[in-house]
Structure 1
Amino acid sequence: MTDRPARRDDQRAGDTDRDLVAGDLRDAFSEGRLDADEYERRLDAVWKSRTYGELDRLTADLPQPLQRERARAEEERQKALAERKKRETREYLGEWQAWLGGAVIMIGIWGVTSLANGEFNNFWPAIPLGIWAVILLVSAFGRGDDT
Structure 2
Amino acid sequence: MSDYLPTRRATDAERLDATLHLTDALARGALSGEEYNDRIEDVNSAQSIDQITATLIDLPPLLPATTASEKRKRDELREWLREWQYWLGGSVLMVGIWGVQSLMDGSAIKFWPGLPIGIWALVLIACVFWPSEEHESS
TM-score range relative to shorter protein: 0.3 to 0.5
Task: With the length of structure 2 as denominator, give the TM-score of the two structures.
Answer: 0.47
Task: With the length of structure 1 as denominator, give the TM-score of the two structures.
Answer: 0.44
Greater Rg over alpha carbons, structure: 1
